[in-house]
Structures are given as C-alpha cells and as structure tokens.
Amino acid sequence: MLTAERRTEDSKTLRNAEDDSTIYGGEVSAQALIGNWAFDFGVAYLDSELGDSSNVVIPLESGGGVTDLTGAKSPEKTGNVGVEHALRLDEVVVTPWVDVAYIEETQAGLFDSPRIRLDSRTLVNAPVRIEMGQTTATLWATNALDEEYIGGIQNNGTLFYAGAPRQYGLRVSYSFE
C-alpha cells in the first residue's frame, strides 16, 4: 500500500488521495417486443468522487502549476431509449427505428476545471431497414440532428476534439442460403 506521498527512484512523487474515494451506482435496461413494435431503454446512475488530493502538479503546464483534484467526478446520469416498428408489405418488410442517447455534463480528465468540461448532449440515430427475401438494405443516420459537441479534450483544455457530425449511408447485404 502506498502512503499519502512516496518518492520513487526517478524523483517522481506517487500520492494516494488524502481520504477515501467513493464509487457506487446502478444500471437498468430492458427490451420488449410487442407485435410489430420493439422497444428498448437503459438508464444508468454512477456517483464517483475522488478523495481529497490537493497540491497535485499539473502535467504539461509550463511553470509546474498545481491544482486540487478534490471531488473530480464522472457523469452521473446517462440513458438511452429506442423504438422500432416493422411494416410488412407483402414480400417486403420496412423497419424504421429511432434511438436517443443522453449523457450528462462530465469532466474530460481528473482536473475539476471549466476548461475541461464536456457539455451534456443528446444524440439521435435514425435508420430504416428494408428486407426483401435474401437482400437487406439499411439507410442509416447517426447524430441525425447534427448536434455540434466537443467529444474529447486533451492537454488541460488546449486541444479539443469535435464529436462526430451527422453521418449517413446505405448498407446492403445479401444472404446466400
């Protein structure tokens, strides 16, 4: 077990939190098929918090600044819901569906700083599958509402990665039976 602070051979300092870190949570998901309708949903709650960790050297910052990691947290609430409906038209089955996913505001790293917070976001995907005998075609769209969001942050808020924009395409497959 490490003590609160210990020097290593190469002069780096290893530190444990000054008190306890906590993590707990739960996740629930379900699926249902009712006639030609299909439903799914999932929700999760996660409460994690680092113990007190004050005077931590900030990496990649000129001048060797220090910060306080006390209370760094993960996103607490996430969820998703989806619904689809199969329309049977003679030999063709058309199945449109939509799924919506939500993630609460979160930190992009351990440092509790507004510079590295990711805003909450809700993303919508909306594909349509068409089945004709042994051929299946799916017209798909991800981030269908083209929400602009930051997907990741690096180097303490100096390098931002854009989240994926709206993307769409067509996937066709044939089953050789």
> Token digits for 170?
């067509």
Res 43: pLDDT: 97
In order of 94, 102, 106, the CA distances from 176 in angstroms are 21, 39, 46
Mean pLDDT within 135-139: 97
Beta-strand relationship, 135-142 and 128-132: antiparallel
Mean pLDDT within 123-143: 97
Res 108: pLDDT: 77
Structure confidence at residue 4 as a pLDDT band (50, 70, 90):
very low
Mean pLDDT within 141-170: 90
Answer whether residue 20 shows pLDDT above 70: yes
Res 23: pLDDT: 84
Strand ranges inside 55-120, DSSP E: 56-57, 66-67, 77-85, 87-89, 92-103, 106-107, 117-118
pTM of the model: 0.74
Structure confidence at residue 1 as a pLDDT band (50, 70, 90):
very low
Structure confidence at residue 158 as a pLDDT band (50, 70, 90):
confident
Mean pLDDT within 129-138: 96
